[in-house]
Amino acid sequence: MPEPTSKPAAAQARRMLVFLIVLTAASQIGMQGWITLFNNFAVERAGFGGFEVGLVQAVREIPGFLSLLVVYVLLVLPEHRIVALAITLLGVGVALTGFLPSFWGLTLTTLVMSFGFHYYETLNMSLTLQYFDRSQAPLVFGRLRSVTGMSNIAVGLSVLLAARAFDFAGIYAILGSVVVLAGLWALTQDPSHAGLPVQRKKMLLRRKYTLFYILTFLAGARRQVFLAFAIFLLVKKFGMGLTEITLLFILNNVINVVANPLIGRAINRYGERALLTLEYSVVTVVFVVYAFSDSKLLVSCLYVLDQLVINFAMCVNTYFQKIGEPRDIAPTMAAGFTINHIAAVVIPVIGGALWLWDARLVFLGGAGLALCSLAAAQFIRTPPKPEVSIAQS
């Protein structure tokens, strides 16, 4: 990991890094387990079609839309306590999912699970940007995303093995229990220190962060098209079963474990604008192929490619770190998460309705959003890096 120049700073950073690694792994065990099982569970047990899937996916994004409210929770609890409670809540929601195979049951458990996941993600980004400088943060984001990939691989293998002995309810319960245990462990830890700028504990929107808000909004919109409908396309149109979907997740995450640290280094070398330009160019092509291809192999390969370049989204946060004020990190990350989910709340519903008319329109809309993101990324400008000595590994 990147090391600060002083030993006390290095020790503080290591404590926070270990804390974030454990909770990031837990968050992905919960979320990836939910995602891996959801489409097959929804179709096979709850009898969902495209419209119902879109509605539940929209419900899943409501807590993300309400992430801005975390600034008020910060008035009574420190960030590291909130993330521990969030992970515990995520685990409870996942554990209960398999026992309620109905529209309203899935709506309830999805809300519980999603509040935990989104509040963790909001403050995870905030803590990373606060505890690691602009040279370190991309590397830490890359490492955490590698942890995400390794956790997802573990989930995929676990699901494949557990499916031989357990039904959906049993697998959800096991995964959720692991996440709850991680949250309870985190409640016993205190990786914080008092040497950081005190974060503003109020809602915050500033004109100088306008481009960050735009990029965040567009990323949430186009990502939601992918999350809600790419796997559903593979299940519904191409008839892929749970084993095939799980193997696809495993392949994707093996690639991401290797690629994410390289992406972190690439941010430092090439800058945010170059990487986001590459991401949005690739995503435009991927969505167009999703719309028109009848090849199961081609669509599966492009799904993996899309999941690879979507990791470039960390550039939006590192861009903010370079232009933002240190005291603005927590409230702006919360505001950014809310902005990210404004479109995400409505797009699954709109997409579900479009699916009933013509599924191609869903992915052509995603291509249009990617083109808007591509145009916005060209306006990125960052100040030069300060002349400081940072040792990196």
**Range(s) of the domain holding residue 332:** 7-192+203-377
pLDDT digits (tens, 9 = 90+) for 174-218: 999 999 999 999 999 888 776 676 666 667 788 889 999 999 998
- Cα four-point dihedral sign 135, 386, 377, 317: positive
**Residue 258 in domain:** yes
DSSP classification of residue 391 = B
305 found inside a domain: yes
For residue 121, tell me if it sits in a domain: yes
**Residue 25 has what pLDDT?**
93
What pLDDT was estimated at residue 113? 93
pLDDT one-digit tens code per residue, 320-365 = 888 888 888 888 888 887 887 777 667 777 887 888 888 888 899 8
Domain with 318 in it: what CATH number?
A: 1.20.1250.20
**pLDDT grade for 90, boundaries at 50, 70 and 90:** very high
- Say how far apart CA 163 and CA 30 lie, in whole Å: 17
The answer to the question of residue 197 being in a domain is no
Q: Check whether 157 has a pLDDT greater than 90.
A: no
pLDDT in tens, 201-210: 667 788 889 9
Distance, CA of 305 to CA of 288 (rounded, Å): 14
Mean pLDDT of the chain: 83
Residue 391, in any domain of the structure? no
Contact of 145 with 252, CB cutoff 8 Å? no
**DSSP calls for 88-129:** HHHHHHHHHHTT--SHHHHHHHHHHHHHHHHHHHHHHHHHHH
Asked if 151 and 252 count as a contact pair (C-beta separation under 8 A), the reply is no
Q: Tell whether the model's pLDDT for residue 70 goes beyond 90.
A: no
Domain membership flag for residue 75: yes
pTM (2 d.p.): 0.76
Side-chain half-sphere CA neighbours of 60 within 13 A: 26
Distance CA 7, CA 200 (A): 28
| Percentage of residues in the chain having pLDDT higher than 90 | 26
pLDDT tens by residue, 226-263: 877 888 888 888 888 777 877 887 788 888 888 888 99
State which of 67-71, 191-195, 281-285, 300-304 shows the largest mean pLDDT: 281-285
Count structural domains, the chain. 1
List residues bridging with 3 in a β-sheet: 391
Residue 121 has pLDDT above 90, yes or no: no
Do 214 and 125 meet the contact criterion of CB atoms below 8 Å apart? no
pLDDT tens string 288-321: 999 898 888 898 888 889 988 888 988 998 898 8
Bridge partners of residue 141, in order along the sequence: none
Per DSSP, the residues of 124-140 read HHHHHHHHS-TTHHHHH
pLDDT of 56 higher than 50: yes
